[in-house]
Amino acid sequence: MRIAEMLARGRPTVSFEFMAPRDENEVAMVEKTIAALAGHAPDWVSVTYRKATGKKTLELVTRIKRQYHIEAMAHLTCANTADETRPILNWMEREGVANVLALRGDPPGPGQAFVPADPQFQHGSDLVAFLRRSGYRFGIGAACSAEKHPESPDQAYEFRYMQMKVDSGADFLITQLFFDNRFYFDLVRRAKEAGITIPIVPGLMPVPSRRSLAFMAAMTGATLQPDLARAIEEAPDDDAVRALGVRHCIEQCVELLEAGVPGVHFYTFNRARAPMEILASLRGQQLLTA
């Protein structure tokens, strides 16, 4: 089923992002996380893509669909040439994958430049356009930023590329993680003013630790409200930071769901405990159905 159809059903969807295992040492952890969160009835999930682990992404997507009967979306990036991308897409179609998240992909590290594998794949919008003009029948998602991405000179530049993804044929958008809902609400307002009508799903991450927070903030540009930043700085250890992160994410979700968002998408980093706690709270408040 296409994810865009789920997002149009009139009730918020719940979804998770899993990271494809980089090596055999991570397989057991990923499988345990998927099994735990599958029991919480997500509407759909996504699996990240790296060129080095691309095969694992595809295998994991199909296994989730077959074993847990959950709609699983494969991430796909501009890490491959067009000629390398077509066989991947053909394989997805044969295996019944219905949705693709078309992304440019991350640079090698913070402060480093992204180098495309193919001149025609400079941006995520290029991959969206390629999928559309090649005749594939996938539902297509794309990413956007509620805040200014570290690589963008300003928010207007970022917004312009979001519009290009929509114009190229994206069916829905998922934001990068953010901690202040005002950024999301402002993005949705500007999108509506620009005539963008496709769903924009908020992407959320409960802060797991100071170290993880620092890395993700550097990669995505996400900022913390002063009171949250101060509370995390004053927390005695990572257990306290994690508890703060869960409470803050619950507060975010409550405000977002009461405002009528199409769904909530959790970046799990292959950890099940925090999303489970958040969902239990939201369902206890009857903001989500079981």
Tokens of 178: 């953010």
What are the tens digits of pLDDT across the range 104-136? 988 766 667 788 889 999 999 999 999 999 999
Provide mean pLDDT across the span 87-98. 94
The mean pLDDT value of the chain amounts to 92
For residue 119, the cross-strand partners are: none
pLDDT given at position 108: 67
Show contacts of 242-246: CB within 8 Å, 24+ apart. Answer: 242/206, 242/207, 242/208, 242/209, 242/274, 244/207, 245/206, 245/207, 245/208, 245/274, 246/206, 246/274, 246/277, 246/278
pLDDT given at position 27: 84
Q: Which domains does the chain have, with CATH numbers?
A: 3-284 (3.20.20.220)
pTM of the complete model: 0.95
Residues classed as catalytic? 17
Provide mean pLDDT across the span 167-191. 97
pLDDT given at position 218: 80
Q: Which of 161, 36, 28, 83 is nearest to 16 (CA)?
A: 36
Question: Is the pLDDT higher at 271 or at 148?
Answer: 271
Which residues have a Cβ under 8 Å from the Cβ of 150 and sit 6 or more positions away? 110, 218, 219, 220, 221
What are the tens digits of pLDDT across the range 230-248? 999 999 999 999 999 999 9
pLDDT given at position 205: 95
pLDDT interval class at 57 (50, 70, 90): confident
**pLDDT for residue 216 is more than 90:** no
